[in-house]
Amino acid sequence: MNSDRQKMIFKPLPSKRVFEEISDQIKEGIQYGLLQPGDKLPPERELSRQFNVSRMAVREAFRVLEDSGFIYILKGSNGGAFIKAPDSSDVVKSIKTLLVRGGITLEQILETRLMIEVSSLELLIERITDVELKELQKNINTTDKFLRKGSFPSYIQTNFHVILARSLRNPLLETFLVTLMNLIVGFFGKGDPDDMEYSIRNLKDHRRIYRAIARKDLKAAKKILRMHILDVPPPLKRKGGKLDTVLRGTAVSPQNKYLIL
């Protein structure tokens, strides 16, 4: 990006929360395509001149933009502030922050999965390919091999849902669903031997979901996936997840008395 274009983007600021005005103008440049991923922003000295503000205000704006995932900072002679490409990890980070601060509960994550994953099954059944069906079958077979050896392959089982998300052919839905799965992995951890019974039950659900999708049985797929999501593994019970609202009005059999991921 040349300096003439950069001069056209930025304009002097009114006197109020200056660093926010700076960051807002840079965000607008990104939004309208004037700033592309990989573009290097002018140095602090040059930006302070264009904005007619102090270098400290520019530095604070950079900090805010970096924290929110719009830019990244490199040190050294070839360093500087660069526009960052969109990354789903930024979404994960934001939602994790809300979780840590108590803004999102596990109950709400489950509700969101029910609303998005189950509702998207019709689209998934229309768009999933034979290649992706083979990936699901391979995932199931790999999980089975680990379980027979007494291992707890939680990350492999989680990847089953990542494959489903990718099969939607919708980057926004995929990013959101993968974000939810990453949160789930982070919350439940890597698993332990006490979770083996749950993991075996989880594998059985995946087989049933796969078969329903493969034969394009939407009604069965929705029913199985809903009960699968509503089958919470032992770590959730140990961590005291509150699921009363999700459970209310839901028929849960004695075999499926927990609620899933």
Domains and CATH numbers, the chain: 3-83 (1.10.10.10), 88-256 (1.20.120.530)
pLDDT of residue 140: 95
Interval 84-133: pLDDT, tens: 987 766 666 666 666 666 666 777 878 888 999 999 999 999 999 999 99
Average pLDDT score over residue span 161-184 = 86
Percent residues over pLDDT 70 in the chain: 70
Written as six digits, the tokens of 65 are: 């933009």
Task: Evaluate whether 233 touches 258 at the Cβ level (below 8 Å).
Answer: yes
Task: Evaluate whether 185 touches 159 at the Cβ level (below 8 Å).
Answer: no
Give me the chain's average pLDDT, please: 80
Distance CA 79, CA 43 (A): 10
Interval 30-56: pLDDT, tens: 988 899 999 999 999 999 999 999 999
Question: How much is the pTM?
Answer: 0.62
